[in-house]
Structure 1
Amino acid sequence: MDLFSFVECAKETRSLKALFDLLVSCSSEQGFSQVAYGSLTDTGPARLPEYLRAAVTVNFPSDWCERYSERGYNAIDPVVRRTTMLSTPFLWDRLADQHQLQPGETRVLSEAREAGLKHGVTVPLFGPFGRLSVVSFASSFDDADPEHRLSHLNALAWQFHHALAEIAPLSEGRCQIQVALSEREKDCLRWVEQGKSSWEIGVILKVSENTVNFHLKNAMRKLETNSRTHCVVKAIRLGLI
């Protein structure tokens, strides 16, 4: 299922369970059938959709979830710790190479692999005022290729996050903000959704790489996003592209 199909199906969901099941179904097509979603902060105005109450929805193996809870692994889990430090998606396989892990952190990763979570991708989801949620995708396959699936899983996570905000209870005072993108900004975002780089988009549209970056930055500013993927996701959800 591509990103646009996920958006259309998500619009028909009316519950967290249905939306989470849809996310799992889509990520399973990428070889990552085990998913966890949660909020790492529980502060902020309740009137904003980004400020959902802290909760965890997970389909990781039950025995691993029980052990994780009983041993208080959330306090030493390197994935949780790095989520608060990193602004971009990251691979579990790279944590030991890119960071100096403590013995307890290494143990958590090792036991997770033994429990069937052999490869993983985590997507930090930053909102206004320091709000932070997270989606983690895990695979039980030895030959899973998280690096190749990273871009698609990142986009799925953001789409899920926005769709969940839409079905969450909203206050009476919330209003929709109208955003207008130029045709060139829309063109650039459509090609970003297809996985093209700024240079490649420039070749396609017959403009310079700097011009492409200019349009993308304008779109990100208008949609109040801090990454290209987030911008594409929000533009799709708003029906702008």
Structure 2
Amino acid sequence: MALHLATLHSDLVGRAHPCHPVACADRGQSMLSQIMSRAEAAFAAQTPEQASLSFFAAVEGLGASYLQTRFYRRPTMRLTSASHWAAGGFITRVAPDTWPGSSAFDYVCLECNPLLTAIRESRTRYRFSDFAPRHDQGFKAYWDAMSEANIYDALCATSYGPDGSIASLHLGFPEQDLAPEESFAIQMAGLVLTERLISLSTPPPATPPKLSARERDCLALAADGKTNWEISVILSIAEATVRFHIDNARRKLGAVNRAHAVACLLNQRLI
């Protein structure tokens, strides 16, 4: 069975209605092509810096104007804006020259970082505006500060490794003009990047995880964008059995959710 990179529509994109398994195939392949076109160079890179810059080069034409990548360990002390910043691990930053060290920069990094909730909840993909709604006046100062970096909103991807290690990508855009599926493809490609950052910074496991044939089949179909129901139809098994196999695969891979499991599978060359 061919294995591809994508993820479940229902869990990760929030599409309201499943399509027939056959009808979904072309759309899944199109999404796969978008994801791989943005992730391929980063996946082939041999250093964290090269991976970060290769990824930015692949998405700059879509309007991206800001990038920050990090690999760090989650602070053992209480997670605050300051302790999160002090954890360091900055790999690459593409930003206006006047941004780092400015009062606006210090404000969002040291005083008002709404993205800490994403770390506490082990989120793997999100936007800045998910945690700092633009219509909320309580975040007006935050967005005023972000505007100095020419950021209207940013797409984020985060991977969680062993011993509290975290690799993150922040990709800023000056305008809100990306279609939902384009945003999804960029974030999934971003997860390939953050998994690559972890693998370049930590030794591979002594014994790679071994998935059963059924676990591989279920996760592969999930990667093609199939819902649990669609997978159950294709494999002629119960929907509950599909959930069981995918969750087993997720645990073996040490992934926090299905999207993370797909990225782990690709990065470890198990796909």
Match of 1:34 among 52, 59, 66: 66
Taking the aligned partners of 2:177 and 2:37, their CA distance within structure 1 comes to 27
Identity over the aligned pairs, expressed in percent?
A: 21
Q: Which amino acid aligns with 2:168?
A: V
Q: CA deviation at 1:113?
A: 3.3
- Listed as ranges, the gaps of 5+ residues in structure 2 are 1-32, 77-86
- 1:15-35 CA distances to partner (integer Å, 9 max, x unpaired)? 233211221133346544532
Does the 8 Å CA contact 1:119/1:144 hold for their aligned counterparts? Answer: no
- 1:189-230 CA distances to partner (integer Å, 9 max, x unpaired)? 222222222223223333332121111011112212121111
- Listed as ranges, the gaps of 5+ residues in structure 1 are 45-51
The equivalences for 1:35-74 within 5 A come to 35-39=67-71, 41=73, 54-67=89-102, 71-74=106-109
Corresponding residue number in structure 2 for 1:90: 126
Taking the aligned partners of 1:164 and 1:192, their CA distance within structure 2 comes to 24
Corresponding residue number in structure 2 for 1:164: 197
Query: Number of residue pairs matched?
Result: 228
Match of 2:47 among 8, 15, 33: 15
TM-score (norm 2): 0.69
Q: Does 1:211 align with 2:241?
A: yes
Does the 8 Å CA contact 1:123/1:154 hold for their aligned counterparts? Answer: yes
TM-score (norm 1): 0.76
Worse overlay, 209-218 or 75-84: 75-84
* Residue aligned with 1:61, SS: coil
Q: Which amino acid aligns with 1:182?
A: S
CA RMSD of aligned residues (A): 3.3
Match of 2:209 among 176, 179, 184: 179
Note closer, same or farther for the CA distance 1:161–1:97 as it changes in structure 2 (3 Å cut): closer
Taking the aligned partners of 2:135 and 2:216, their CA distance within structure 1 comes to 38
